[in-house]
Amino acid sequence: MVLHGKSEETCDIVLRQLNCFWPTVVDRQQMLCAVSRAIEKTVASYDASNTMYYLQSGFSVLNTTVYAVFLYHLAHIIGAGGAELADKLYYLNKIINCVEWYWNIELPEHFVVEHPVGTVLGKAEYGDYLCVFQGVTVGANFREMQCIWPVIGDHVTLYANSSVIGGCRIGSNVIVAANAFIFNEDIPDNSVVFGSSPGLTVRRCTADENRKMMIRMWKPGRG
């Protein structure tokens, strides 16, 4: 991925955006270091992907989808040293991109989104090579006062307005179709799931079918 902007420029933009909403005083050198690391993480994800809109445009604060992922990484990195600035960055991402990705969730090393408006990603366990589309919800269910979160495998794609809620185990190499609603159910590896719990339709895929589906999102040999 080509970098259309230096870390210093991105850092200045983030600080100006923060100060539009909250007076923010930071150690600029520490912030610049965190911005550089967040750009590296974002670039690593998109370099591994086949998402159609980003192969040429590269990292830019004007690419709002890539910028949303960058702001998550930045907040997550900053959060290791203190919550207040991380909270502001999370809130900034919510204001600008309308995403609910709190900074202390652990999204995977390779994480990309397309049209992420309205996505809510809770404190699930996420496998690597995750892709989500607009309106996706990953959330908890309460059982006897315990909060139960999904466990999601590697190479999972959650299409528009799909939901994974509660005590679910989503296998690896799984496509969750648009508008699917999975509640307290397990989905096996190498499958496509449609419909709504408790009446889900799960179609198992051959290795060749699975390869063709996954190449839509990720370059061959990734993961």
The span from the CA of 202 to the CA of 18, in Å, is 44
Plot region of 102 (φ>0 → left; ψ -120 to 50 → alpha; else → beta)? beta
CB burial readout 63-75, b (16+ within 10 A) else e:
bebbbbbbbbbbb
Q: Residue 3's pLDDT is what?
A: 57
pTM, two decimal places: 0.93
Q: Residue 56's pLDDT is what?
A: 63
Residue 216: in which H helix or E strand, if any? none
From first to last of the 223 residues of the chain, give the pLDDT tens digit: 555 558 999 999 999 999 999 998 899 999 999 999 999 999 999 989 887 666 566 788 888 999 999 999 999 999 988 789 999 999 999 999 999 999 999 999 999 999 999 999 999 999 999 999 999 999 999 877 789 999 999 999 999 999 999 999 999 999 999 999 999 999 999 999 999 999 999 999 987 888 788 778 888 876 5
User: Does residue 15 sit in helix, strand or coil?
Assistant: helix
